[in-house]
Amino acid sequence: MAAPRAGELTRIVRFDRAILVDDGLAMVERWAAHGPPQRATRTDLSDGERWRAAEIGASVTTRFVLRRTAFTADLTPKDRLSCDGLSFAISGIRELAADPRFLELTCSARTDR
C-alpha cells in the first residue's frame, strides 16, 4: 500500500483505552477517551454475516492508515478505535511498508448493533 498524501487523510478517528475504575464493589474496566483525534484513511477490506447459536451477526474488517507520532506509536490491540459511528477492535498494528512515517491498523467492527 502506498503512503497517503495529506489530502487523503479524510477520516477523523478517536481512540479509547480501558481503565480500571472502582465501582464500589470491585475494580472494573471502563472505556475512556485516549489522546487527541487523528486523521486517517479508511479502506474496508471485507464484510460478512454469520449465523451462530441462533444469532445473526454482521461485521466489517477495515484498514486505517495514519501518521506515526509518539501517541500513535504507543497504541496497542488492547485499545479501541472509533470512526463514523462504529467502534472497532484493533487486531493488528504495523509500520506501512512503503513509508515508515505511517502506521497501518487492521480493525474489525460489528455492523449489526
Question: Residue with C-alpha cell 515508515?
Answer: 100
For the cut 90, the answer to whether the pLDDT of residue 82 exceeds it is yes
Q: Mind listing the pLDDT tens digit for each residue in 43-61?
A: 988 766 555 555 566 788 8
Q: What's the pLDDT score for residue 4?
A: 82
- Look at residue 33 and tell me if it is in a domain: yes
In this predicted structure, the answer to whether residue 105 has a pLDDT above a threshold of 80 is: yes
Task: Report the amino acid identity of residue 108.
Answer: S
C-alpha cell at 49: 454475516
CA distance 8 to 72: 18
The per-residue pLDDT for 64 is 96
- Domain-located, residue 51: yes
Averaged confidence pLDDT in the chain:
88
CATH of the domain at 52: 2.40.10.270
Q: Where are the alpha helices (DSSP H) in the chain?
A: 70-73
Other C-beta atoms within 10 Å of 42: how many?
17
Dist CA 57 CA 54 (whole Å): 10
Whether 1 maps to a domain, the answer reads: no
Give buried/exposed letters for 52-69 (b at 16+ CB in 10 A, else e): eeeeeeebbbbbbbbbee
pLDDT greater than 90 at residue 77: yes
Which residues form the domain of 47? 7-110
- Give how many domains the chain has, as a whole number: 1
Q: Flag whether 97 is in a domain.
A: yes
